[in-house]
Amino acid sequence: MSKTEHLTGLIAAPHTPFDKNGEIAWEIIPQQAELLIRKGLTGAYISGSTGEGISCSVEERLKVMERWHEAAQGKLKLIVHIGALSLKDVETLGRRADELGVFAVSLVPANYFKPATVELLVRYCRKAAAFAPHCRFYYYHSSLSGINLPMPEFLEKADGVIPTLAGIKFNSMNLYEYQLCRRALGGKYDIVYGTDEFYAGARALGARGFIGSTYNYQSDLYFEIDRAFDRGDWEAVEAGMNKVCRGVDLLVRYGGVACGKVLMATQGIDAGDPRLPLAALTTEQKQSILREYEEIMSGK
Positions marked active-site: 140, 169
Axis-axis angle for helices 118-130, 151-158 (nearest 10):
60
Residues 115, 147: contact at Cβ < 8 Å?
yes
With CA atoms as reference, report the closest residue to 5 among 138, 196, 154: 138
Residues 193, 204: contact at Cβ < 8 Å?
no
Helix, coil or strand: residue 245? helix
Q: How far apart are CA 76 and CA 71, in angstroms?
A: 9
Helix, coil or strand: residue 72? helix
Q: How far apart are CA 251 and CA 248, in angstroms?
A: 5
What is the rounded radius of gyration, in angstroms, for the C-alpha atoms of the chain?
18
- For the chain, the distance separating the N- and C-terminal CA atoms, rounded to the nearest angstrom, is 51
Strand partners, 43: 11, 77
With CA atoms as reference, report the closest residue to 47 among 32, 65, 24: 65
- DSSP summary character for residue 201: H
Q: How far apart are CA 57 and CA 244, in angstroms?
A: 33
With CA atoms as reference, report the closest residue to 136 among 97, 164, 169: 164
Strand partners, 18: 24
Count of positions (residues) in the chain: 300
